[in-house]
Structure 1
């Protein structure tokens, strides 16, 4: 038995919408939760099996790096769209959607971004970037991770947000600026804030859930255009899933008229037992618990993209 067969079997019926293979999946894909993957540009060229697997199993694609500033903005004056355009063409040709990841992030920035010197410069560069990128794919990329990972790993009073060039120059209002700018360019796009580490049964995750909810409530109270929250399920395999806590968190977000997306899903297994059968059983259980916590025992309604940055 292959590792993949074992893991998929152990996940069981709770995750079946993700697991039905083509061509059977193609017959039900409009009713099922869309399944997607992060795409490695090199593998699309070098490995013929790779793009075919994407075609067979996926309805959504997202570039691992081709829309991040580090790849897209080699210099202040230039945009390098070729890789993103190639993936967009692949998605169009095969009847898929491409999600946009990401417009604003603390990481993966070229050196010239990290050298931004003041608030006026930061504001101008962020707005110019979002207007150019969202404008290029207006009407084609229908869902954007506008702000990625804004919350501190250990949020506390006075330090709720993760340090970044944007936070240092613009303060927490950079989140609102990014969302309002994206909405002005494409009013029909789904605008998403994407973050991680909400699912654990520890004080760190509970504090992060609270800080994140407080941020979202503030944005909603100011009528900031925000339509969905992306949950990055970077599950630490050695830690149990707080299913009640995750269910309550998702329900609170949904009560604010927000869609909740599983944008990424992987299990970090370096601290798990070495024997494959034991390790894979734990991996499968963690993924199953995560999805059950996310769904809260209800019929799945939200869209999902499963991948890894």
Structure 2
């Protein structure tokens, strides 16, 4: 059974998780949900969510049951909101808010300034016109959702050494328009548009232990220092956590990096957690066990740092994962589909759930 976005908007999303749940899938006791267990460990647990997540009854039920925060997946990305210069299409984000608000689940905005979201009309603008486009986008978007979205990823993925640019910044329309100063400009305008919203700087690949990862970590620390020196309000740093066991990693070293960030007196969020299982065996039980072990080891290290306040998976069930979507696009008849998330495509828990619970319940107690 499916619900359309219109159904949710018309009903005010007033359906409880119990009413949404299809026959045959038992509800998790409230005290045993990931959200509740994380809360006992002083962590807010959540998931990204897309408007089409709501169209599947079981999936919508799972998300509202387990999560205590939602991140908007793609509905607020520049190119989706503004596919043409004079269009502003907030309908998918509105559907998510209509679903989340009655359940009391806050929604985190993602993302205001991301150089990879670059519709053709934007790239055709002059430098001065791009400057106006960024200012207008932040002013209008944050202003439109002011009081409804309590936090934003203001700048997403500012660094990418592969572009070969000064400071290892990621190239794109906003860097073209302002240079590296686009970061501070975006934060200042977001704060002006909604002074109560929490402002987050979100970055990828900081957990990867190779030359690119080292450059991104170094650049991020310098950027945080510069923002703070210039008096730009920065409430938290988000680290995505798209874990790829096929790349080198060092969980202890990553925890040391988190401590360095924490010394800057900011909160830390894990914002897009999942595990790429492409380097693991085809055998599903073996693969699920390896995925679970990666979740456990990573979170054990991350949760040793008190400044980590939030853990958000990038979707919650395999069927909604960007990995699965990419695999089906590459081969609609693919026999092996990715299994990167805590719940399978039938919305049932996998060993990763137990691994996440073990890491949360094992988090060191806060010392006085």
1:52 aligned partner: 61
Matches for 1:195-206 after TM superposition, within 5 Å = 195-206=203-214
Gaps of 5+ in 2: 1-26, 316-321, 323-368
2:273 aligned partner: 265
Give me the whole-angstrom Cα distance separating, in 1, the residues matched to 2:259 and 2:306: 13
Which of structures 1 and 2 has the larger relative contact order (alpha carbons within 8 angstroms, sep 6+)?
A: 1
Give me the whole-angstrom Cα distance separating, in 2, the residues matched to 1:73 and 1:133: 10
How far residue 157 of structure 1 moved from its aligned partner, in angstroms, is 7.8
1:23 aligned partner: 30
Give me the whole-angstrom Cα distance separating, in 2, the residues matched to 1:163 and 1:104: 12
Higher strand share: 1
| CA offsets 1:191-245 (integer angstroms, 9 cap, x no match) | 1111111112323322221121112111111111111111101111223531222
Alignment equivalent of 2:50, drawn from 22, 37, 40: 40
What TM-score, normalized by structure 2, do the two folds share? 0.73
Alignment equivalent of 2:310, drawn from 279, 303, 308: 303
How far residue 39 of structure 1 moved from its aligned partner, in angstroms, is 1.5
Per the alignment, in what secondary structure is the counterpart of residue 168 of structure 2? strand
How far residue 166 of structure 1 moved from its aligned partner, in angstroms, is 1.0
* 1:236 maps onto 2:267 in alignment: no
Gaps of 5+ in 1: 1-19
Tell whether the 8 Å contact from 1:68 to 1:109 is kept in structure 2 after alignment: no
| CA offsets 1:144-203 (integer angstroms, 9 cap, x no match) | 000110101458782410111111221000111100100111122111111111112323
| CA offsets 1:75-113 (integer angstroms, 9 cap, x no match) | 212211111111111111111000000101112332211
Tell whether the 8 Å contact from 2:39 to 2:45 is kept in structure 1 after alignment: no
How far residue 138 of structure 1 moved from its aligned partner, in angstroms, is 1.2
What TM-score, normalized by structure 1, do the two folds share? 0.86
Count of residue correspondences: 287
1:223 aligned partner: 231
Give me the whole-angstrom Cα distance separating, in 2, the residues matched to 1:301 and 1:163: 29
